[in-house]
Amino acid sequence: MSRTITILFLGDVIGQSGARAVFATLKGLSKEVRADAVFINGENAAEGFGLTPETAALLFESGAAVITSGNHIWQRKELLPLLDSEPRLLRPANYPGGAPGHGTCTVEVRGSQVCVINLQGRRRMPDTDCPFRKGRELVRAARKETPLIVVDFHAEATDEKEAMGVFLDGEVSAVVGTHTHVMTNDARILPKGTAYITDLGSCGPSESVIGFSPEISIRRALTQLPLRNEVSTNPSVLSGAVFTVEAESGRAVSISAVQRAAAV
């Protein structure tokens, strides 16, 4: 039987409540699903917008091997030096040249090298270089070193995410979507062997509007006033997916959605 590696990938961490939930719950969840490594999207961990060095340290301490991100990663200026200095902290790789940080890293998992690639969509999102062309370029480079490649595609549009999954099917172990904060019910293995889910959901308040105060969200919809979102104070839940891949070939053998109430 081929040796396998199991990875738990959690969706966007929202606010301090989400970060505390990860800290209190992740080790038990990781043990429960027998994960060999944990990856987390942390771009909303600082009051719902961005990431601070302190919260990044907390997520790493909680068990994250890699932290991915998205369009909100630039909102905390104090994080910019860490984007350059911490190889396991990623920003989307398809930002134009000159942007701080990097969009890929490779970590060792049970004796195998796993490459993580962070990309950002362009539909209803800030302007970036083409994620498809950049993704293909990075995947081709990574496959010279390892067949174990995991892609976090941080995007708004479902069709763009599904297109990326099909585009990279058979070339990477998994394509997981982030950004919308709502878990989708389509975890599956694509025809050529890539694990896929359109959105992992979030690690944050469950009784909320994408993690934020329902009252503010409703008032903004009714009045069209530019009200700033505030993270909901309701109890949090961890959402993501666990997938198992063959260590030698990189092909996925299983994927399932995961959701757990926080231990705090």
DSSP state of 124: T
Q: Which helix (H) or strand (E) holds 246?
A: strand 236-246
DSSP code string of 16-81: HHHHHHHHHHHHHHHHHHT-SEEEEE-TBTTTTSS--HHHHHHHHHHT-SEEE--GGGGG-GGGHH
From the candidates 72, 154, 179, 181, which is the catalytic residue? 72
Q: How far apart are CA 97 and CA 22, in angstroms?
A: 33
Report the SS3 class of residue 126: coil
* Dihedral in degrees, nearest 10, Cα atoms 138, 143, 147, 150: 0
CB 91 within 8 A of CB 102: yes
72 is annotated as an active-site residue: yes
Q: Which residues are catalytic?
A: 72
